[in-house]
Structure 1
Amino acid sequence: MMTQSARSEPPPAKSTELAAIEDIINSRQEDIILAINNHQFDVSKPPWSWASPAFHVDVHLSGPSRFDSLEEYVDWWKAVKSTFADHAQATLIESQTSVKGDFATNFAFYELRGPAHPSFDRELVRQFVSKSVWWRNKDGEWLFEAYGTVEGIDLTRLRDHGTPDKPQDKEI
């Protein structure tokens, strides 16, 4: 028999304000992906205008990369998108935000898709987890402070073990 103290209590309901902040941040994450996919790189307009003056990026591409300004990051995306116009179309699969006072941390799970790779004869798909940090300024606006891929979760380096249609040898 379970005692009263052993029963799990339901989590407290989120305040309307907290839920609204989470919705704003989650929506802005999606807006950033859409801007990249649609080649919208005008830093004076949303979503880029939501970046704080201290914006910086740490990502793990083929090796660690750091961008110390929004302009560096956007220029990098412009180069990628001009070289591979239809490559790296991203989809936001899941986005979770934790708000503590005037700071918010967002973890997002993305899927990147690219055109078929000749040696695999199928579309390339990569998945990764990112972390972004947001803060609320004195005017109540939420600004994008930092972005990075989560270290230790580099799903792009996982060995492809095939699909049911195209099984491959698995290493054990």
Structure 2
Amino acid sequence: MFKIEVDDTYEKGLMDEEDTSLSEAIFSTYPISSGYFSINWNGIYIPLTLNSLSDIIDDIIKMLDSIISGFDFECSFLCESFSVILNFKIYKKNVIITSKWISINTDEIFNLNSSKSVLLINKDKYICEWVRLLSVISNDLKLVGYSFLFLDKKLSFYNEFLKQKDNM
């Protein structure tokens, strides 16, 4: 099982006119003490901060692009809330993700690195969870005054991919 849930009761920060990157804008939009999301990885609840997404936003986009390309790959998420190495094997409409959790804000690291480390999921469902999170980020960025055409185009591309009946 894989699911991403966002706690929508958070307060947003303020736009910083000096922000030039998506990462900087996310950092400004989500103050450190406000905004949480969680990942359900094979039944283990992993609480994370929205602010930590500023460290891994580029990795998330590269990961989604790589899944869509259909080739096996490895990626790492290294941020304040967690560090994990993910190995992706693409098999038709599914993806097998083997994880190696290095650090995390939970006592479940042993369980995450045992039998729960391997996730088998439909490729579209996995992409859809991340697209939902990226959509929340995009909307929040717009609410505080940012405009990132790059993110809008990526979301449009991912949504078009998900609409296709047969994704290889």
TM range (shorter): under 0.3
Whichever of the two has the greater Rg, that structure is: 1
Question: Higher strand fraction: Structure 1 or Structure 2?
Answer: 1
* Structure with more helix by fraction: 2
TM-score normalised by L of structure 1: 0.26
